[in-house]
Each structure stands twice: as structure tokens, then as C-alpha cells.
Structure 1
Amino acid sequence: MLKLFSCGYHTIHHEGIVRNRPNGSGNYTFVFFNSRAEVKLHENTTIVQKNTFIFFQPQTPHYYRELESPFINDWFHCNGYDFHKFLLNINFPLDTLIDASDPLLISRCIMELQNSYRLDGTLREHIIDCDLRSFFMKLSDLRERTAPHQLNRYYIQFTELRNDLYRYSHKKLSVKELALQLNLSKSYFQHIYKELFGCSVMTDIINARLEHARYLLDHSALSVTQIANSCGYENDTHFMRQFKKFVGVSPRKYRFRSET
């Protein structure tokens, strides 16, 4: 079981900060820099920009200090049986400075970790174990799917746009209109989208519409024509053809599948 020893979300150091650990901290230490800092690791000194994280091993000598005031960071100390094996299995980088492609995810997860740490219940330790494993797996998965470094600056904007595609699947938006929202050309917008998410924006638009259509077929009495309109289709014929192509059956057969 993974254990959390201490945790800080959006910790503000008004007087600055110096962490000098020539023998390591004695446990695994995660630091997410929300401010510029100087980091010394393996005898190398690096100027670190905000939205950078690192996960130190227990015996790794390290030093860091603020380069701006106030200095803000998220951090936690943890350990556990077979922790190193777990990290190797998910290919998580250790003692390496990493640019965060989704800084909001990291801060949000550490805020939840801090909330779990303050819990007082019989399942507290199990919740923390699950939270820690989930956190590292999300970061590892995100690194594997992250586009080239030069596209990282688009990640948050595109993620929000992608979430909106699924949240508002009834809206009739063209790829050109979506590109204009981010002040990008249609072709470059499509290129970035594919690099970031591994699929085209049209694939996501279709998936979002059909996902909502399946929900309405399962949980409403709306007609197929009404559902087509609710999912952004101009006519029910196009909707039915696309539904059958991607789902494998017609909307009507999908709705009454449990009766056959």
C-alpha cells in the first residue's frame, strides 16, 4: 500500500524557500513548481520555469530555491511497499524535470490528495493508496500521449474545447468555426488536434453526438427524429446512416435490443 506522509496544495512561501537535502529526503518527494526556481540535481544546476514537476527518489541528493517571490508550489512525500516496481511498470520518470502539459490536472489531483490526507475514517489509507496510484498513472499516460513539446502550449485550450464538444454535442459547429475560436487556420487546428488526442476533430464530433444519442435512446421516449435534432443532425436520415455505420445497428434496433 502506498502511504502519504505530508502534502501541500498551492503552498505560498512569502519569505522564499531553500530545500537542501544532500542525502535525499528519505522518502519519495513530488514537487510541482508554480514559480520559477533554481534546482541542483546530480551536480547540475538548472533554472526551472513554472509548471514543471519532478519526482525525487528517497536517496537522491537535491537542492532547490525560489527565483521569484512569492514562491508557490504543490508537493507531497510518500512511500510504500513495491513502490519502485509500480513506478517502473507504468514507466514513470524519476529524478527528471518534466514540463507539465496539463498543470491544472496536477494541482487538482494534489488538492484532492490533501483532502484525502485530512480524512478521518476507516478507509482513509485505502483512499490515499488509490489516489496516489491514480495520480501517477494519469501523469504517465499523459506523457505517453503528449504531442511534441512545441504543441504543449495548446493542450489546455484544446482540452477545454474537446470537453465542450462532448458537453454540447447538440451544437452544429464546423471545423472551421472551431478553429476560429482559437484563432488558428483550419488545417493547423486539425493538425494540432490529431497530435494532441490521436484522433481527428470530426471523429470526436461524431463520437460525442452518437454518445448522446445512445443515452437518449436508452433513457428517453423521444422519437428518432427528435433525437437526431437534439444531437446536431440536420436530418434523421443522415443520423440513422451514421449511427448504423459506427454503432453497428440502426437507432430503432439499438433502442429495442433488450426486447429481442
Structure 2
Amino acid sequence: MNHIRYVEYDAAHRQDFVFDLPKGHDCWLLLLLRTPALFGTPDRLQEYPAGSAVLFAPYTPIYYRACGAQYINDWCRFDSDEPPVVSFPLFGIPFSLPDAEYCHNLFQLLTWKNSFPGRENERIIDQLLSLLFFELREAVGKSALAGSPSRFQDLLSLRKAIYNSPQLSWSVARMAEMLHLSEGYLQTVYRQAFGFSCMDDCIRARIRLASDQLLYSEKTVAETAEFCGYRNVEHFCRQFKQYTGLSPREFRRARGTFPDV
């Protein structure tokens, strides 16, 4: 079970801030850096960027300090015997988060829910912490991908844009220009990061949108194709069947949602 002792987001400190606890806490400490900071030992420090996270196990030394005009972080002291926490792959060393804002949002939710005790809130807090640690474990595994944390963040932003608006006229050339990369390099790092080529991901996003429209709208197949960014309905039908195993009409008929149009 997870139990939060105290959690806070956007905690601000002056430029002379130093946190030095040689014997550590008697609980877990999780930090999310909102500004750069120095971590290590007093005589051997390394700077880590905003958007990094670090987990300190109980009774382990903790030393970090500000390295700019202000130090801001999200932090949580908590007890846990859950496997995602106790078997976390990295302790005491900051690592980059592919989507730091999402983790920051989870910290906000944890803070708000922890401020109002109650049985339901305790259950929600436990689930939020589990979700947060799922993201953190995934981040440790991806920290070496795409060359640098900022590069991975750019790729993640591109992928979000594709899935948010798959109907746009996406092309490798357009995506490469957005990220200021060569087309060949973009395709290489995108596949390394997500397991698919950028154009294959675009097609998957379009098919996902088309499936939703076929199930929950009265659009014809031709209207669905146009809505999802296809200029040619035959091409849409071929691609839809390639990815789902059914033609658009078969897909709609199999679920019996709207007439066969």
C-alpha cells in the first residue's frame, strides 16, 4: 500500500537553498525538478535539467542544491511496500522525463487529493501514485533514446500532434521541418523511440479516428475518409482493411451501429 506523508508541487526556494540529509529520511522521497539543480555529494556535484526526476530510498544519503536564481520542485515523502516502488530500477540519480508536464499534473492531483482525507481519496491517491510510477519506470527505460531528453520531448510532442489531428496533411518532409531534422534521421529516431515509423503512426492514428467515426457517427464511408484526411476513398478502404482486417462497411456492419452507408 502507498501512504503519502506530505506532497507539494511548485515548491520554490531561494538561490542559496541546500538540502543535506546524510542519513536520509525514514521514508521514500520523490522529486520532480521544475528548474535545474545540483545533485551528488558536497564535493562532487552534477547539474541536472528541469524535467528530471529522482527517487531516494529510505535511509540513504540525500544532497542537492539550487544552481540558479531560484530552485523549484514537486516533491513527495511517502511510505510504500509496492513492487513498482521497492523494485524501481534507479535510486538517488536523476533521470529525464519524456513528458514532465504530465508527471507534474499527477503531482498536482496527488496534492489536491491528499489535502482532503477520506476513504475514496485514499484509494484515488494509491492509484495516482501507481500511475505516476508507471510513467517513471517507463522514463528510465527511455532516457537513453533519441539522443537527448530534449530530442525525445520534441518527438513526443510531434506524436501528440499527430494523434490529436491525424486528418492533417502529414508527411515526413513536414515533420522533419517541424523538428529541424533531416528526413532520414527523423525516421530513424522516431522508430527507436516509439517502435513505428512516423508515417505508420500517422496511418494508425487515422484508422483509429476512422473506427470511432464509423461506430459513433452517421457519416458515410466517403465522408469518413474525407474527415480523416484521405483524398481518395478507395485508398482509405484498402488501408482500413489492411490495419483492421475488415472493410469500413464490414467493420460498421459487424458492430451493428448504423445502417450500411
* TM-score of the pair, normalised by structure 1: 0.90
Task: Give me the whole-angstrom Cα distance separating, in 1, the residues matched to 2:35 and 2:140.
Answer: 21
Deviation at 1:119, TM superposition (A): 2.7
Query: Could you list the per-position Cα deviations for residues 146-188 of structure 1 after superposition, in whole angstroms to 9, with x for gaps in the alignment?
Result: 4436232222222222111111121122111121122222111
* TM-score of the pair, normalised by structure 2: 0.89
Aligned to 2:34: 34
Task: Give me the whole-angstrom Cα distance separating, in 1, the residues matched to 2:38 and 2:222.
Answer: 61
Aligned to 1:63: 63
> Contact 1:9–1:75 (CA<8 Å) still a contact in 2?
yes
Aligned to 1:239: 236
Task: Give me the whole-angstrom Cα distance separating, in 2, the residues matched to 1:33 and 1:96.
Answer: 12
Name the amino acid aligned to 1:117.
N
Query: Could you list the per-position Cα deviations for residues 1-52 of structure 1 after superposition, in whole angstroms to 9, with x for gaps in the alignment?
Result: 20111112111113632222122111100122333433335x8722222223
Number of residue pairs matched by the alignment: 256
Q: CA RMSD in A?
A: 2.1
Task: Give me the whole-angstrom Cα distance separating, in 2, the residues matched to 1:152 and 1:50.
Answer: 9
Q: How does 1:150-229 map to 2 (within 5 A)?
A: 150-229=147-226
SS of residue in 1 equivalent to 2:151: helix
Deviation at 1:242, TM superposition (A): 0.8
SS of residue in 2 equivalent to 1:150: coil
Distance 1:213 1:148, change over 3 A: closer
Task: Give me the whole-angstrom Cα distance separating, in 2, the residues matched to 1:46 and 1:179.
Answer: 37
Unaligned 5+ segments in structure 1 are none
Aligned to 1:47: 46
> Contact 1:109–1:135 (CA<8 Å) still a contact in 2?
yes
> Contact 2:15–2:69 (CA<8 Å) still a contact in 1?
yes
- Segments ≥4 residues shifted beyond 4 Å: none
SS of residue in 2 equivalent to 1:144: helix
Task: Give me the whole-angstrom Cα distance separating, in 1, the residues matched to 2:146 and 2:210.
Answer: 36
> Contact 2:215–2:255 (CA<8 Å) still a contact in 1?
no
More displaced 10-residue stretch of structure 1: 29-38 or 69-78: 29-38
More displaced 10-residue stretch of structure 1: 227-236 or 91-100: 91-100
Report the identity percentage.
Answer: 27
Query: Could you list the per-position Cα deviations for residues 198-247 of structure 1 after superposition, in whole angstroms to 9, with x for gaps in the alignment?
Result: 21111111111111111111011111111111111111110111111110
Distance 1:92 1:114, change over 3 A: farther
Task: Give me the whole-angstrom Cα distance separating, in 2, the residues matched to 1:78 and 1:39.
Answer: 21
